[in-house]
Amino acid sequence: MSGVFITGTDTGVGKTFVTLHLAEKFRRDGMDVGVMKPISTGPDKDNDAVYLKKKLKLDDPLELINPIRLKHPLAPYPAAIIQNEKLKIKKIFSAYKELSKRHQIVIVEGIGGVAVPITKTYCVADLIHDMDLPAVVVARAGLGTINHTLLTIGALIDSQVEVIGIIMNGFTGKDLSEKTNAKVIEELSGVPVLEKLKWAKPSS
Ligand SMILES: Nc1ncnc2c1ncn2[C@@H]1O[C@H](COP(=O)(O)OP(=O)(O)O)[C@@H](O)[C@H]1O
Ligand SMILES: [Mg+2]
């Protein structure tokens, strides 16, 4: 595997957290890891690409890690409309190609969930398909996650994306459904839960 696309059931579900976690894990296994955030929206300061580049001390220019930057904190389609910009999706493919030459594996963090529109007729699931990458779905640990995770996997399969696994994030030990969700999702989707991550206490 030379690349993987980290998508999720929603925004704020832990895609950046998991991207960093996997990058550090692959590094510990001796691999040279690159990351990518194809499209960021919102203020440049401390966006996901800047954060990951800093945390992982990556030399790659921000223009490669994050080829499309939009000013407003919205889905790419409305963000591009507001700033009257036509998105050049091809920039994503060429940046990914270059990063793949530089690194053994490139972890690509998605934008929100799979149905998020990039243009009127092109969503995140289409991008994953066209980048020819397998997907990992980051899902919440607690109540409500069965619905969101099954819908996400269904949409990826409809877009002919290979789903290699699910990472469940934010276990608290306080929600009864945390005990049964992973097993039910595996059983109903046929996709394995690769990891269950606890809600980490903030480091002081
Ligand atoms: N397992 C976790 N433990 C502690 N904090 C987490 C965990 N997962 C996510 N967070 C925090 O929750 C917030 C949202 O996570 P983030 O990875 O940015 O989500 P996404 O990239 O899907 O929008 C961030 O502040 C992140 O640090
Ligand atoms: Mg993120």
Residues with catalytic annotation?
A: 37
Domain with 91, as residue range(s), is: 3-198
Distance 84 CA to ligand 1 centre (A): 31
As a whole number of angstroms, the distance between CA 112 and CA 13 comes to 9
Decide if 102 contacts 34 (C-beta within 8 A).
Answer: yes
What are 29-70's pLDDT values in tens digits? 999 999 999 999 998 887 999 999 999 999 999 999 999 999
pLDDT score of 204: 52
What are 133-160's pLDDT values in tens digits? 999 999 999 999 999 999 999 999 999 9
pLDDT score of 169: 98
Closest ligand by atom to 112 CA: 1
Q: Name the nearest CA neighbour of 49 among 36, 68, 60.
A: 36
In a domain? residue 203: no
In a domain? residue 174: yes
The residue whose CB lies within 8 Å of the most ligand 1 atoms, and thus the one to mutate among 9, 17, 195, is 17
As a whole number of angstroms, the distance between CA 28 and CA 21 comes to 11
pLDDT confidence tier of residue 203, bands split at 50, 70 and 90: low
Residues of 173-196 as b/e, b for ≥16 C-beta within 10 angstroms? eebeebeebbeebeeebebebebe
In a domain? residue 12: yes
* The total number of structural domains that make up the chain: 1
In a domain? residue 32: yes
pLDDT score of 45: 81
In a domain? residue 172: yes
As a whole number of angstroms, the distance between CA 138 and CA 149 comes to 8
Neighbouring residues of 60: CB distance < 8 A, sequence distance ≥ 6: 34, 53, 99, 102
Q: What is the CATH number of the domain that holds 130?
A: 3.40.50.300
In a domain? residue 204: no
As a whole number of angstroms, the distance between CA 23 and CA 34 comes to 8
Alpha carbon separation from 38 to 51, 125, 143, 171, 179 (Å, rounded):
14, 13, 30, 28, 34
Distance 108 CA to ligand 2 centre (A): 11
In a domain? residue 71: yes
The pTM of this model reads: 0.97
What are 87-135's pLDDT values in tens digits? 999 999 999 999 999 999 999 999 999 999 999 999 999 999 999 999 9
In a domain? residue 168: yes
